[in-house]
Amino acid sequence: MASRPRAVESKPLLNDDVGLDRRLELFRLQVEIRDCEKRAHDLFFQNMIKGTSHLSLGQEAVAAGFGVAMQKGDKSFCTYRGHAHTLARGASMEGLLGELMLRDIGLMRGKGGSMHLTSVEHDVLGSYAIIGAHLPIACGSAWRAQYLGEKDVSVVFFGDGTTNIGAFHEALNFASVWKLPVVFVCENNLYMEYTPIGDVTAVKHPAADRASAYGLERIVIDGNDADVVFRTAQAGIEKARRGEGPSLIECLTYRHSGHSRADPAKYRPPGELEEWLKRDPIVIYRQRLKDFGVADETISGIEAESKRKVEAATAAAKASPPAPVEILTTDVYADGGWAWRN
């Protein structure tokens, strides 16, 4: 039998605190993330993108909600599924698609590719291919802010499978003991890679049900509702900014495609995807805007502008040359060089 979207445990929230401007921004981000990632998928089949990549189709509300809640200076730490979070912090589509295509216009001039997106300018301090590796690094960033008396907050995103990695527990314990300004965000899309998280985890909610072990509140939210994500993100970030320590937020969501390009996702039971498509975050939010009286012309205008941006970004990335070979050995050490030093 197909697994259905699980009931979300959250308190009723008022709908008048997000505001029209934020709602339009939340919708814009979700649409642009999806359109850009769909274009990345298409470019792969045109042989314009090499190697694997991991898309967030269906999970856009998490990136959008946190992207709107975070302030300039707050730091993002992403997994290899980092396209959405990089775009949500303001990085350009040209830079993202260019990076995937290994072009000089790319965010890292083509040296990082899909799984290592970084944009210091936009406070995106890396996408990490090693499961769980970035959680202690996010703690280090938060510890730096605490030590220097700065007010930025580090937000670290990870999948449900990461909750069974030692670094998850070590980072949570460290952050709780030191009351670090860091927010841990689990994007629980039900599957680790090809394995259902429930098959290998002793608790129902792999992140939230372990929060109490580190003195943290148990938080499980609907990760497909951008308003819910935004409100919860805002509360956790402001708590951290006040010096009251970390939060652990589990966002229930679902990826529409397989783990990566090599995964046809045939392990999913019949009907599961169809059930979750009824909870598509963009469909939900388009209706939300209508419910709040936003005109159809405004909604369609945002969607049309997104498609225009994708076309322009695609053209710019295709027109950009590959990165010059001269930069191959730069950016290896802090001084920019590569030669081994004793």
pLDDT in tens, 300-334: 999 999 999 999 999 999 999 999 999 988 887 77
> What residues pair up with 222 in beta bridges, in sequence order?
252
**43 near 49, Cβ under 8 Å?**
yes
Is residue 335 in a domain?
Answer: no
pLDDT, one tens digit per residue, over 115-161 is 999 999 999 999 999 999 999 999 999 999 999 999 999 999 999 99
| Number of residues assigned to the chain | 342
Tally DSSP H helices, then E strands, for the chain: 10, 6
In the DSSP assignment, the letter for residue 123 is: T
pLDDT above 90 coverage of the chain, percent: 85
- CA 208 to CA 184: how far, in whole Å? 11
> What residues pair up with 342 in beta bridges, in sequence order?
none
> What residues pair up with 146 in beta bridges, in sequence order?
none
In the DSSP assignment, the letter for residue 298 is: H
pLDDT, one tens digit per residue, over 91-116 is 999 999 999 999 999 999 999 999 99
Is residue 8 in a domain?
Answer: no
pLDDT tier for residue 17 given thresholds of 50, 70 and 90? confident
Phi, psi of 75 (to 5 degrees): -105, 135
- What is the reported pTM? 0.92
> In the predicted model, what is the mean pLDDT of residues 152-174?
98
- Residue 12 has a pLDDT of 38
pLDDT above 70 coverage of the chain, percent: 94
Is residue 323 in a domain?
Answer: no
pLDDT tier for residue 52 given thresholds of 50, 70 and 90? confident
Is residue 2 in a domain?
Answer: no
Is residue 90 in a domain?
Answer: yes
Q: What is the CATH number of the domain that holds 63?
A: 3.40.50.970
> In the predicted model, what is the mean pLDDT of residues 165-174?
98
Q: Is 5 exposed, middle or buried (0-12, 13-18, 19+ CB in 10 A)?
A: middle
Q: Which residue segment(s) compose the domain that 286 sits in? A: 20-317
- Residue 239 has a pLDDT of 98
Is residue 224 in a domain?
Answer: yes
pLDDT at 228 over 60: yes
Per the structure, how many domains does the chain have?
1
Is residue 304 in a domain?
Answer: yes
Is residue 341 in a domain?
Answer: no
Pairing of strands 247-252, 182-188: parallel
